Structure 1
Amino acid sequence: MINSRIRKITATVAALLIFTFLGYQIYRVNFAKQVTEEALYKTVSEKIQATGYAIRSENVITNPYGGVLQYAVSDGGRVSSNGTVATAYSSVATAGTKDQLDSLKNEKQLLTDLQNPGNSYADSLETVGQQISKQMISLLNNSESGTSITADKQQLQYLLNKRQIIAGKSPDFSSRLSEIETKITQLSGTSNGQALGTVTTDKAGFFSSHVDGYENLFPINSVTTLTADDLEKEYPKGTVQDHTVGKVVNDFFWYFACTVPAKDANRFKLENTVTLSFPFASADEIPATIVAINQQDENSDAAIILKCDRMNANLVNLRKETAEVTVNQYSGIQVSQKAIHFETLTKDVKQADGTVTKQTQKVPGVYVMYGTEMRFCQIVQLYGDGTYVYCDPSPSADALMTDDTVKQYDQVIIEGTDLYDGKVID
């Protein structure tokens, strides 16, 4: 008796579950709302992360005088052959005196220039205003980078005074000039400020005050033969000589040699131009040309050798870095990966002899809402990143099995059930 009751209860519960499930499925098909997302025209970059080495033709410079160095050129700055890169002084105080003298002489020259009316009236207020704006930007940039801003401040003050003169005011600089002359005489009459000697470079190029011991790790003349094994080894740091001043990168071109996994190697093509950025070292984006792709076989890592021709204070000090390499950019209609469906379609195709044949093909596409009607639109994919697909906004009619493709601002269905072409949603 008890077993019979248990069987009845079990059968009733099972029946309720079945009816509930069927009811839910009927509701989903007939009443569940479609979720849409607007299709937008966007540009996306195809990026690959790669770790490698900056390889340059570098000439290390040493200081034969000892003492305290005062650099004549900042990192990334150009220096000529036999040009001065630094001056050696016996002490910090001596170097400071030289700084003071240089600053005073520069200020004297600027004030003397302002006393000549022809030098001011040749410019307009608008021109000087633009110069002031540029000088303020330069001052802020140098302040943030840690570069001395004394000369920038003097130049800004010069331009502000110049604007006053053009506007009809006549500042009197005689008192300040007299004060400057007195200070110059006092400082020049001491032994302070006398240099031990100047440090020069016998080669022209871009200067860097940083020497890391890896300057001769990879010879520049064999850079295009480097392999993935060469670049993936761990190398001990080289010896840095005593009294090293810095180095000069003496070639306009330099290289970034990096490794990529086998699956990414075919995304690089010889002679193509890519864009390099170093997110952990610099905000710069620089163009580079692919000059070598060295891969043992299709299943092994590849060494990618990139040639660059840009240089600044950030780039001149790069060595082993992780880079983002932009290998391509795509512009197209962005749709969610979730929105893509595959449908088998048939269309009439007119042949060259005038006959019409049927063509059947399984194609990718999305469902788009046109008012209350659902339409299937084929897509031609340009690029996909796993989350979104970027589609050709204007593929040829021959490439399509549907009358149209997805367009900007279309309402694309990303969630829904029982989707089919021509369905009307009340």
Structure 2
Amino acid sequence: MPGQVENPREQKVVPLHKPRGSRKNWLYAVLAVLVVGFCVYEIFRINYRPVETEIALDATVEDAVTVEGFVVRDESYIRAEAAGTLVPLVTDGHRVAGGDAVAVVFSSEDAARNYTQLQQVREDIAYFESLQNKLGASTADVDVLEEQVYSAAQSFVLATRTGTPDTLASYAQDVCEAITSRQLSTGTQIDPSEKLASLRAQLQTLEAASGGYTTITADNPGYYISHVDGYEGVLPYADIADASGDTLAAALRAEPASQDALQSCMGKLVDAFDWYIVCVLDADTAAGVASGDTLTVEFPLTSAEAVRATVEAVKPTSDGSTALVLSCNWMNQQYASLRTEQVRLVFDEITGLRVNNRAIREVEGEQGVYVVSGNLIEFKKIEIAYSDSEYSVCVTPTNENGYPLGGYVERYDEIIVEGTDLYDGKILG
């Protein structure tokens, strides 16, 4: 109102300074930034290393070459005056005695197929009869039976990679038998009588339709092979080590005998245990090979496993190459089917630690590398056993007692590949 005097107690007071609390908040923020920055710096300082490193791990390299090989065995034909379809009775590569039945010959493919089915039905009947005998049997040790199932299944899977149809069928049968035994042990009801009745009826039908056949027997003991390829006489088995280099090389280009000449052949027998591989190498590759050496032979395009072979002969050829004769003494179905094959000859195998060539240095006449040990740099010696353009394989020498010498690079060492001003004992900061 006009003329009214304001109450001095109601007048607003304006502070001359900011509140003390806001200044504290500002100080806390600065301190927090400093603490975080210091922590980041310490983490970076601890983890930062001004060097590039690689871990020393195991590595294996092979001195090997891949060439064509020709297989020579002590083979003799099994001849018989029979024509028709041959059905082997034994597996290729199986050892037989003189006079053993090795095959049967039928006049037609239908008769041969009927015989094969007849044999299969007989095997099935034997299986289900044995299953019938197991009925009522039980065991509390189910874990053992489960382990048999797993083992049989694992063997079957492995056989699918390297096996043949014959071996796969055998492994599949093992799986079925293991599973059946497991089911019976837990009280599962299985009645094979209906299946047996069906198989026996099928057996009678096949037996009624079966015809005559000619039985082929082995003339002498040996390893039976059901097929012939016409290369059996290309090189003389008994004198192969005395053959010239050109004669050995010619076997790789040889033509097989005509089919007319092989019509009466019902398979063959391999008499001797040893068999040979003939191959031709360039002179430089064969320079370090000598008679008596042993090496590993692989057959990469077949299911045959690698074998150890002995060098029986090293013969020069007229074109400057070198022919080798290698002897082996393993025999099975896979080896029995080999003739002209791609072979991989492994002369040597070196196992050591893989070291980047960029890390290798020479210090006071010693070849070695720098490794990170904690926060220190340490120089360790190396002994190179193999080297290419990028990496070396290093081995550790041993003393007279066979113990590894100290001071050499070790497995899992952190090897410095890139860095400057490196020396033994330097502290990484």
**Is the Cα contact below 8 Å between 1:72 and 1:85 reproduced in 2?**
yes
Give the 3-state SS of the residue equivalent to 1:45 in structure 2: strand
Which 5+ residue runs of structure 1 have no aligned equivalent?
1-31, 346-361
Matches of 1:288 and 1:301, distance apart in 2: 21
Pair 139,250 (structure 1): closer, same or farther in 2 beyond 3 Å: farther
Q: Alpha-carbon deviations, 1:367-386, whole Å to 9, x = none?
A: 33345544433212233345
Q: Residue 212 of structure 1: CA displacement?
A: 2.5
Matches of 2:149 and 2:80, distance apart in 1: 39
Q: Alpha-carbon deviations, 1:294-345, whole Å to 9, x = none?
A: 4589x954333222122233322222333222222333222123322334x2
Q: Where do residues 20-419 of structure 1 align in structure 2 (5 Å cutoff)?
A: 33-116=50-133, 129=146, 132=149, 136=153, 141=159, 145-147=164-166, 157=176, 160-169=179-188, 171-188=190-207, 190=208, 192-233=209-250, 235-240=253-258, 241-282=262-303, 284-295=305-316, 301-343=321-363, 345=364, 362-371=365-374, 373-396=376-399, 404-416=407-419, 419=422
Q: Alpha-carbon deviations, 1:193-215, whole Å to 9, x = none?
A: 22320222213333334432221
Matches of 1:225 and 1:122, distance apart in 2: 64
Q: Residue 135 of structure 1: CA displacement?
A: 5.3
Pair 80,302 (structure 1): closer, same or farther in 2 beyond 3 Å: same
**Is the Cα contact below 8 Å between 2:138 and 2:187 reproduced in 1?**
no
Number of aligned residue pairs: give it.
371
Higher Rg of the two aligned structures:
2
Q: Residue 75 of structure 1: CA displacement?
A: 3.2
- Length-normalised TM-score, structure 1: 0.72
What residue in structure 1 maps to residue 18 of structure 2?
A: none
- Length-normalised TM-score, structure 2: 0.72
RMSD: 3.8
Give the 3-state SS of the residue equivalent to 2:115 in structure 1: helix
Matches of 2:299 and 2:95, distance apart in 1: 22
**Is the Cα contact below 8 Å between 2:274 and 2:328 reproduced in 1?**
yes
Which 5+ residue runs of structure 2 have no aligned equivalent?
1-48
Matches of 1:334 and 1:150, distance apart in 2: 44
Matches of 2:150 and 2:71, distance apart in 1: 35
Q: Alpha-carbon deviations, 1:5-50, whole Å to 9, x = none?
A: xxxxxxxxxxxxxxxxxxxxxxxxxxx9543221123343332334
Matches of 1:230 and 1:123, distance apart in 2: 67
Q: Residue 85 of structure 1: CA displacement?
A: 2.8
Pair 231,113 (structure 1): closer, same or farther in 2 beyond 3 Å: same
Give the 3-state SS of the residue equivalent to 2:333 in structure 1: coil
Give me the identity figure in percent: 28
Matches of 1:159 and 1:368, distance apart in 2: 55
